Amino acid sequence: MCWVEEETGWIGFTISLNSATGFTSNMDRDVVNFGAGPAKLPQSVLLEAQKDMVNYKGLGISILEMSHRSSDFTKILNTTEVCLRELLDIPDNYKVLFLQGGGSGQFSAVPLNLIGLKESKTADYVVTGAWSAKAAKEAEKYGKVNIVHPKLGSYTEIPDPSTWNLNPEASYVYYCANETVHGVEFQFVPGVNGAVLVCDMSSNFLSKPIDISKFGVIFAGAQKNIGCAGVTVVIVREDLLGHALKECPTFLDYNIQAGNGSLYNTPPSFSIYIMGLVLEWIKNNGGAASMEKLSSIKSDIIYSSIDQSNGLYVCLVEEKSRSKMNIPFRIGNIKGDCDLEKKFLEGAAKLGMISLKGHRSVGGIRASLYNAVTVEDVQKLADFMRDFKDSHQQITTV
């Protein structure tokens, strides 16, 4: 394991005064943020939010100062939900909740709400990386957890679903659609014989269309692909409401939140507002299908750069489970050459490409290619990877 210091400094970040509005604008920022989350947001969203930060639509107050029970905020909440329902074609028998507590909060909320669905108080978990491992560990506090496949030696593959040992008495089957740290992504929705399927989609939500009707619960923290930190979307089928354990905290109870339109307690109003802007941006850019096409193009660019590097760049994830969102790789050899990786990060930062360092638990490099990251941004990284390869190839080949 080797460690590389976090790159520092915002290179090429300039601030100019927009004389027309009097707002300070960062229009000229030419940094590309490849961070895994909180992650890059569309520029148009930031500029819109900048205006509403001081004076929301001429009301004379900031979006931050608005009562969550005011008609103006109600409108924001409703529009955001309508837009999400449209983008993902969410059936009427599903509730959409906007909750606090992040993806990690849902690691608890899921078992607290669902593990009591059957008397067994048992849940099936598929563990393909750091996030599903954490979720399974949390669920053990509330019931019995069955990992449906032999424990993986490394998180570089998805065990073949035909080998999963599902327990028919389990209350639900849980998996993580995209493992943000390890770069392992399901390219299919697992068949679970009619069991209640629960999915953590925090890091690939709205990167492609999904058939909601296959799921009991889907949740996603916003700060990866659909907004900023603070709000977590929960999509829950109505017949699963009302089964929470008695120790479930009220604000995490799906039934209570659904009954109160996500307003049992103060919702993360600013984060919901930002999500609304991002959803509108996705809609104006062709929706989920268009995001999927772009994700394929972007990830193909980086995986080709890796595969055509004569072994300088190494991605350990098996080909059919490679993530289109988060691409982890090592430089020099499968364990990573610390000096080369450090040089790579420094060289990228000099060109304005930041937050490419792998998660602290695995090291190496990770490029996150969420919706707001453009093909142009990705091409810039690929160009740098090629140049870096050309100037360092001899180190590994001699």
Catalytic positions: 131, 200, 224
Site string for ligand PLP, 164-203 (x = CB under 6 A): ------------x---x-------------------x-xx
SS3 state of residue 73: helix
- Report the distance separating Cα 149 and Cα 172, nearest Å: 15
Q: How far is the CB of 114 from ligand PLP (least distance, A)?
A: 17
Q: How far is the CB of 207 from ligand PLP (least distance, A)?
A: 12
Q: CB-wise, 65 or 140, nearer to ligand PLP?
A: 140
DSSP 136-195: HHHHTTTSEEEESSPPPSSSS----GGG----TT-S-EEEESEETTTTEE-SSPPP-TTP
Q: How far is the CB of 101 from ligand PLP (least distance, A)?
A: 7
- Single residue of 98, 131, 186, 329 touching ligand PLP by CB under 6 A: 131
Q: CB-wise, 175 or 384, nearer to ligand PLP?
A: 175
Both tokens of 315, joined, read 């991605």
The residue nearest ligand PLP at its CB is 102
- Report the distance separating Cα 195 and Cα 214, nearest Å: 10
Short-list 370, 42, 7, CA closest to 208: 370
- Single residue of 37, 183, 276, 336 touching ligand PLP by CB under 6 A: 37
Residue 302 half-sphere exposure, CB side, CA atoms within 13 Å?
Answer: 32
- Report whether 41 contacts 362 (CB < 8 A): no
Q: CB-wise, 113 or 180, nearer to ligand PLP?
A: 180
Q: How far is the CB of 180 from ligand PLP (least distance, A)?
A: 3
Q: How far is the CB of 205 from ligand PLP (least distance, A)?
A: 9
Q: CB-wise, 198 or 312, nearer to ligand PLP?
A: 198
CA dihedral 185, 189, 192, 196 (to 10 degrees): 100
Give the H/E segment covering residue 289: helix 287-307
Residues 6+ apart with CB under 8 A from 146: 122, 123, 124, 125, 165, 167, 170
Q: How far is the CB of 221 from ligand PLP (least distance, A)?
A: 4
Q: Positive or negative, the Cα torsion across 260, 266, 267, 270?
A: positive
Site string for ligand PLP, 207-246 (x = CB under 6 A): --------------x--x----------------------
Q: CB-wise, 104 or 146, nearer to ligand PLP?
A: 104
Q: CB-wise, 205 or 384, nearer to ligand PLP?
A: 205
Short-list 215, 212, 211, 213, CA closest to 197: 215
- Report whether 210 contacts 189 (CB < 8 A): yes
- Report whether 41 contacts 228 (CB < 8 A): yes
Residues 63-122 touching ligand PLP, rule: CB under 6 A, are 102-104
Binding-residue total with ligand PLP (CB under 6 A): 12
Q: How far is the CB of 224 from ligand PLP (least distance, A)?
A: 5
Q: CB-wise, 221 or 336, nearer to ligand PLP?
A: 221
- Judged by phi (left if over 0) then psi (alpha if -120 to 50, else beta), residue 88 lies in alpha
Sites of contact with ligand PLP (CB under 6 A): 37, 102-104, 131, 176, 180, 200, 202-203, 221, 224
